[in-house]
Amino acid sequence: MPYFDIKSFNELRPGMILWWVLDLACLCEQSIRLGGLHKVTASMWLVLLMHGIYIVDALYNEVRSISLLLWHPPCLPYLTSINPAQIAFSASQTEHHRALAISTMVSTRSSNRETVTTVTATTQIDIPLHPLSFYVSPISKPSSIIAHSLKRAVSTTTKEVTLAQVGIMSALIRTYNIRNDPVRDSLGVLSRRNTNKVNYKAKMSW
């Protein structure tokens, strides 16, 4: 009998594959609500793409990547499919044009002090708060970013406030990590050159 590891099994079969199936289920739900697969919003396709990349990577490199994953109860697919579920729940057709919210984390360092902030650069600045991107204005102080995000989040629904809090927490954690990581100094030097003119669209990098 081959060696059977119940944790690996939970990770891959009900974990990764059911996650993908749940994503597709959210796609179908949005398709039903909006009336046809051709009306599915771009944010939904983006979530499917990103999740798909992660899932294919995890399954293709199974044994090597499996120890990188830190937590995987069978609940994992349900929790990670919150994003597409929220999009399917809240998407309207007018959002379709504004939803190209490819957000990326740009860490920058202000020129006069050693504050490292995490900034999400978005392709459009008037994007409503939704799971793919939390709104961040071009301000270098983390406290201002948090205040701004909260101010914006308060005016939205409760579900979106929760998601904004998750975004703020991840930004704080990333700020802490970057500040305490000497390897990241090169990143700070790179971005310090560009801090005179604040143009986060131009500084978007993957």
Partner 1 sequence: MFSSSSGVIPLTHSLYAVAFSTLLLTTGLIGGLLINPSTSSKGQELLSWLYDRWLGLLTAAFVNSVLQAVAVYWQSFHSGELLAKGGNSGNFVYDVSSFFMNECSHGD
**Helix 142-154 vs helix 158-179: crossing angle, to nearest 10:** 170
Q: Which of residues 85-104 bind partner 1 (CB under 8 A)?
A: 85, 88
CB of 19 to partner 1, least distance (A): 10
| Long-range contacts of the stretch 20-25 (C-beta < 8 A, 24+) | 20/51, 20/52, 20/55, 21/77, 22/77, 22/78, 22/81, 22/84, 23/47, 23/48, 23/51, 23/52, 23/81, 23/84, 24/48, 25/81
CB of 26 to partner 1, least distance (A): 6
Q: Which stretch binds partner 1 (CB under 8 A): 62-70, 135-143, 151-159, 169-177?
A: 62-70
Pick the closer one to partner 1 by CB: 61 or 205: 61
CB of 138 to partner 1, least distance (A): 37
Pick the closer one to partner 1 by CB: 86 or 122: 86
1 touches partner 1 by CB under 8 A: yes
Query: Quick one: which of 39, 45, 49, 62 contacts partner 1 (CB under 8 A)?
Result: 62
Count residues binding partner 1 (CB under 8 A): 48
Rounded to whole angstroms, the Cα distance separating 83 from 132 reads: 8
Closest CA to 131 of 63, 51, 55, 43: 43
On whether the CB atoms of residues 41 and 87 are closer than 8 A, the answer is: yes
Name the residues that contact partner 1, by CB under 8 A. 1-8, 10-14, 16-17, 20-22, 24-29, 31-32, 37, 55-56, 59-60, 62-63, 66-67, 69-75, 77-79, 81, 85, 88
